[in-house]
Structure 1
Amino acid sequence: MRRFNPQWFSEYSNWLEYSESKDAVFCLNCYLFADDNIHQGGGDARKNCEDLVRQEQSIQSALVRQDSQFKHEYRLHLTASIDVVRLLLNQGLAFRGHDESKSSLSRGNFLEILSWYSERCDNIKDFVLKHAPQNDLMTSPMIQKEIVTACKIETIKAIIEELNGDYFALLVDEYFDVSRKEQMAVVLRYVDRMGFVMERLIDIIHVQDTCASSLKEAIVNLLTQHSLSLFYVRGQCYNGASNMQGRINGLKMLIRQESRSANFVHCFAHQLQLSLVAVSKKCVEVGELVLLVSSILNMLGASFKRMDEYRESQKKRVQESLDMGELETGRGLHQEFGLTRACDTRWGSHYKSFSNFILMFGSIVDVLDDIVVDSHCPDEMTKAMGFLRACQTFDVAFILHLMRDILAITDELNKCLQKKEQDIANAMLLVQVAKKRLQKLREEEWGSLIDKVSKFCIKYQILIPNLDEPYFTSLRSRRKLAGCTVSHHYYVEVFCKVIDWQIQELSYRFDEVTTDLLHGIACLNPIDSFSSFDLRKIMRMAEHYPNDFDEFSMGALENQLASYIIDVRDLDERFSDLKGLCDLSKRLVQTKKHSNYPLVFRFVKLALLLLVATASVERTFSAMKFINNDLRSRMNESYFSGCLVPYVEKDVFNRISNDVIIKTFQGMKPRRVQL
């Protein structure tokens, strides 16, 4: 019982404590942490008490700080891993060396790039270098594949958001990859919010059954995953396979049962290539040339030694021409030409094959001559001798130059058809241009062709026949024309006939789209200040889209078209320099007239959705060959699709931030660390 001054509470509040139950004042330090000798306090008791009451040093606070620091380090490491995945996906490189089938112990490219990346980024350098070897989880194949999947998910999501629930067209084709699995590429063509025409790959589907019903089911399942429906399909474009464009049970008819406005257009570029093949089959001379060139290129390409001889001969001839002053020197000139083989379904391959054969004719003859002299195999020697005799004739030289000139015209058309923004109206105009150029070649360029062939024959010492002499053939006498000269044979029986057949094939094969659709699209074309605008033909085309224009909207469309044409043709000068439907779509959005004439803008989009060619699908197949090569043939379907989509759609993938990918990655399954 001691005296107590209440003022001491304010002066010594850090250690004085009052107990109501005992009505006494204690030293808190000694009360809590005094040892057995209770009458002796000290510095230890005071220090222990201060540690207890200091909140920032509590266990909970320490755990919170540690958790925050760990999350920060985790985010740094995950961001670095995503950056490395971005680099590998953009380049189409393997994640583990050159072989994706290796075990997780061989992390190859991924870990090497991660280390290189960390050395150049100060904010993660210490963390990655310290933890990467021990923290195997963040660099494991499982995490890499999950990041790849997250990148694919966000890429497709960005494409679907760009589509914005609008109408689209389908481009579908099948392809056998290096592991002999049949893959189906699905590409969407649509008009985005800015009026630009887009063609985007949304996925690759592994198909086991190629019947039309199975293909349709696979497409429906894919579209359903992204909240899309066949009801919004307004165009289809496939190749010539029967399961695709069959008139009864083909894929196009099955989809049209779901959407009557899903009009079908055969791939224009495939039609063009088929027309060339048809010509080669109908004309005996052209067919013989295709077989001869193919056989010679196969013989030369069958041996590395022959290819080396071909390159050496090519190099020697270029050097001789430079020494004689026949060629000019300069950067990019006189590059090595490969031996391109022609393929019936490979666009433009015949033109490139014939052009290279003409340019490298001397080197090809040199290699064939070496085979005849040095070969120890009688069969090869005999074949090479036959090829030498066949190709060193005026007949082959003439057909080579003729086909090169013809295919040069259609090759320009081929390149134009493969542009993503190409619309069907311009495509039909380009077909007409090609036909007129062929007609001009027939009527005006016979003399220049003979001059080129004669110079070629003189250069390579090929005998030139007298064009005025009678022409003799090995065919039966009843097939010969009385008094037929060499000039008459090559001009009438070959030159004119091949060009006429070519024009006929182009006219026949490019007339499959219904006349109403073509006329309606042509009337929408803004070229020459909308000179081809015809309201009646446009309204007739609208009847082919019953899902979009009913009886009420047909009247509203006609009324909007009448106001629209006066506005854009007579009043608004901003529409005077347009070159096609793509430009018209962009300009309507830029000038906000797409909201003034919504039905007209919808009609323009429907016209743009009618596809021209499956070039985007073919580009996807090229990417598939690059990614799923012989050394990566064991990639599973999900991983392969995850690598392919971001690689093909780089521009979309590169716009996606790391934070978005991290959020998707975190949400794929429960994680140890929740950011």
Structure 2
Amino acid sequence: MNAPGNNQMIAPKIHKQLVNACAVETTNTILADLGDRWFTLLLDEARDCSVKEQMEVVIRYVNKYGEVIERFMAVVHVATTTTACLKEAIDSLFAKYGLSVARLRGQGYDGASNMSGEFNGLKSLIMEKKSVIDIILQEMDSRFSETTTDLLINMSCLDPRNSFSRFDAQKLVRLAHFYEDDFSWNERMLVEQELETYIDDVRSDEWFEGISDLGALAKKMIETMKNRVFPLVYRMIELALLLLVATATVERVFSAMNIVKTDLRNKIGDEWMNDSLAVYIEKDVFNTVDNELILQSFSEHGVSKNAIVTSRPPLHD
């Protein structure tokens, strides 16, 4: 550069390109961690301060350490909230990030109950009360289909609390039949035998004493390599963890959107808002991205790497 002192990199176009480069590499890091694993989508919709309908997309998956991960993927402006419009937006998003529908599992339940069996217990309790609480029971029955209820009850048999006291091999065999695409016919024939061996093994293993939730069980399976000894059981655990039962992550996305797009910045474009949200919400992932990757992505916009200031955009809590 002939006049490096004038290279302040303060043009709005440069700002947007730099934020986009940061967002792209942050998302690429998330997709690399996802790999070819199963995932579920958590979707919700809200209007921003400029009264535009925005659909938030969050993915949920179990990483290689057995940890349940929820990551922001995108905020997408949708013209309407009809099923066809939302499906088109999701299809476009899948094509953009190279995600396969074959790896998509489960479905989201806005405000659903705990997966570990409390739903069935609560329903039984309500049935004992009668009177006005019958209305609540009717509402729960309308929200949860018979199939969904059976799915939740069967999954509760994986609960590790109290020395796996809820374990029921027959119900878990039925659970495998809920996921016919993920368990071959031969595997469904072998799963009962593996379940019987698994429960004897973990009940006698001191490493599994005191585990109180399914997430901790998955991590302990990975640590002790029992996921390789009992692959069919671990697959059930993984599928159970993918079942979405809350929308807290999406609600946090809404809060972040209101921080990034305010009344004073109500003309911010959809792409710039999405890029800003990706970096802001997933700041822990962004902080792990190597600067060189961001520089390479930024240089693809036609800006020389020698002209790039390597300091990252500031992140505000």
Task: State whether residues 30 and 71 of structure 2, in contact with CA within 8 Å, keep that contact through their aligned partners in structure 1.
Answer: yes
How far the C-alpha of 1:602 sits from its partner, in A, is: 1.2
Identify which of 101, 115, 121 aligns with 1:424.
115
How far the C-alpha of 1:579 sits from its partner, in A, is: 0.6
Q: Does 1:205 align with 2:48?
A: no
1:584 aligns to what? Answer: 217
Task: State whether residues 295 and 305 of structure 2, in contact with CA within 8 Å, keep that contact through their aligned partners in structure 1.
Answer: no
Task: State whether residues 268 and 510 of structure 1, in contact with CA within 8 Å, keep that contact through their aligned partners in structure 2.
Answer: no
Task: Tell me which of the two structures has the higher relative contact order, counting C-alpha pairs closer than 8 angstroms and 6 or more residues apart.
Answer: 2
User: 1:670/1:556 Cα in 2 relative to 1: closer, same or farther (>3 Å)?
Assistant: farther
1:654 aligns to what? Answer: 287
How far the C-alpha of 1:536 sits from its partner, in A, is: 1.1
Flag structure 1 segments of 5+ consecutive residues without an equivalent: 1-69, 75-129, 238-265, 270-416, 418-422, 443-495
Task: State whether residues 516 and 540 of structure 1, in contact with CA within 8 Å, keep that contact through their aligned partners in structure 2.
Answer: no
Paired AA for residue 174 in structure 1: E
1:166 aligns to what? Answer: 37
2:300 aligns to what? Answer: 667
User: 1:666/1:434 Cα in 2 relative to 1: closer, same or farther (>3 Å)?
Assistant: farther
Three-state SS of the structure 2 residue aligned to 1:153 is helix
Identify which of 47, 58, 83 aligns with 1:187.
58
Paired AA for residue 39 in structure 2: F
1:339 aligns to what? Answer: none
Three-state SS of the structure 1 residue aligned to 2:59 is strand
Task: State whether residues 220 and 229 of structure 1, in contact with CA within 8 Å, keep that contact through their aligned partners in structure 2.
Answer: no
Paired AA for residue 527 in structure 1: R
- What is the CA–CA distance in structure 2 between the aligned matches of 1:563 and 1:501, rounded to whole Å? 42
Three-state SS of the structure 1 residue aligned to 2:44 is strand
Three-state SS of the structure 1 residue aligned to 2:42 is strand
2:311 aligns to what? Answer: none
- What is the CA–CA distance in structure 2 between the aligned matches of 1:576 and 1:192, rounded to whole Å? 23
Three-state SS of the structure 2 residue aligned to 1:548 is coil
- What is the CA–CA distance in structure 2 between the aligned matches of 1:497 and 1:590, rounded to whole Å? 49
1:135 aligns to what? Answer: 7
User: 1:427/1:519 Cα in 2 relative to 1: closer, same or farther (>3 Å)?
Assistant: closer
How far the C-alpha of 1:635 sits from its partner, in A, is: 0.6
TM-score when scaled to structure 1? 0.42
- What is the CA–CA distance in structure 1 between the aligned matches of 2:111 and 2:93, rounded to whole Å? 26
How far the C-alpha of 1:502 sits from its partner, in A, is: 6.5
Three-state SS of the structure 2 residue aligned to 1:199 is strand
TM-score when scaled to structure 2? 0.87
User: 1:141/1:435 Cα in 2 relative to 1: closer, same or farther (>3 Å)?
Assistant: farther
Q: How does 1:132-281 map to 2 (within 5 A)?
A: 132=5, 134-136=6-8, 138-237=9-108, 266-268=109-111
1:242 aligns to what? Answer: none
Three-state SS of the structure 2 residue aligned to 1:205 is strand
Paired AA for residue 531 in structure 1: S
Task: State whether residues 149 and 642 of structure 1, in contact with CA within 8 Å, keep that contact through their aligned partners in structure 2.
Answer: yes
1:287 aligns to what? Answer: none
User: 1:674/1:559 Cα in 2 relative to 1: closer, same or farther (>3 Å)?
Assistant: farther
Q: Does 1:540 align with 2:174?
A: yes
Identify which of 156, 162, 166 aligns with 1:522.
156
Answer with 1 or 2: which has the greater Rg.
1
Paired AA for residue 221 in structure 1: S
How far the C-alpha of 1:560 sits from its partner, in A, is: 2.4
2:314 aligns to what? Answer: none
- Percent pairwise identity: 39
User: 1:434/1:547 Cα in 2 relative to 1: closer, same or farther (>3 Å)?
Assistant: closer
Paired AA for residue 654 in structure 1: N
How far the C-alpha of 1:659 sits from its partner, in A, is: 2.4
Paired AA for residue 537 in structure 1: K
2:230 aligns to what? Answer: 597
- What is the CA–CA distance in structure 2 between the aligned matches of 1:519 and 1:156, rounded to whole Å? 35
Three-state SS of the structure 2 residue aligned to 1:166 is coil
How far the C-alpha of 1:503 sits from its partner, in A, is: 5.1
Paired AA for residue 432 in structure 1: L
How far the C-alpha of 1:131 sits from its partner, in A, is: 4.6
How far the C-alpha of 1:135 sits from its partner, in A, is: 2.0
How far the C-alpha of 1:586 sits from its partner, in A, is: 0.9
Question: Which segments of structure 1 move beyond 6 Å, counting only runs of 4 or more?
Answer: none
User: 1:622/1:566 Cα in 2 relative to 1: closer, same or farther (>3 Å)?
Assistant: same
Flag structure 2 segments of 5+ consecutive residues without an equivalent: 309-317
User: 1:501/1:155 Cα in 2 relative to 1: closer, same or farther (>3 Å)?
Assistant: same
1:636 aligns to what? Answer: 269
2:312 aligns to what? Answer: none
Three-state SS of the structure 2 residue aligned to 1:209 is coil
Task: State whether residues 26 and 286 of structure 2, in contact with CA within 8 Å, keep that contact through their aligned partners in structure 1.
Answer: yes
Q: How does 1:387-402 map to 2 (within 5 A)?
A: none
Three-state SS of the structure 1 residue aligned to 2:279 is helix
Three-state SS of the structure 2 residue aligned to 1:661 is helix
Three-state SS of the structure 1 residue aligned to 2:75 is strand
How far the C-alpha of 1:509 sits from its partner, in A, is: 5.2
Paired AA for residue 110 in structure 2: C
How far the C-alpha of 1:433 sits from its partner, in A, is: 9.7
Q: Deviations 1:625-672 (Å, cap 9, x if unpaired)?
A: 121110011111111101111111222122223222122212343637
- What is the CA–CA distance in structure 1 between the aligned matches of 2:32 and 2:208, rounded to whole Å? 29
- What is the CA–CA distance in structure 2 between the aligned matches of 1:201 and 1:662, rounded to whole Å? 23
Q: Deviations 1:213-251 (Å, cap 9, x if unpaired)?
A: 2211211221122221221111111xxxxxxxxxxxxxx
Task: State whether residues 523 and 534 of structure 1, in contact with CA within 8 Å, keep that contact through their aligned partners in structure 2.
Answer: yes
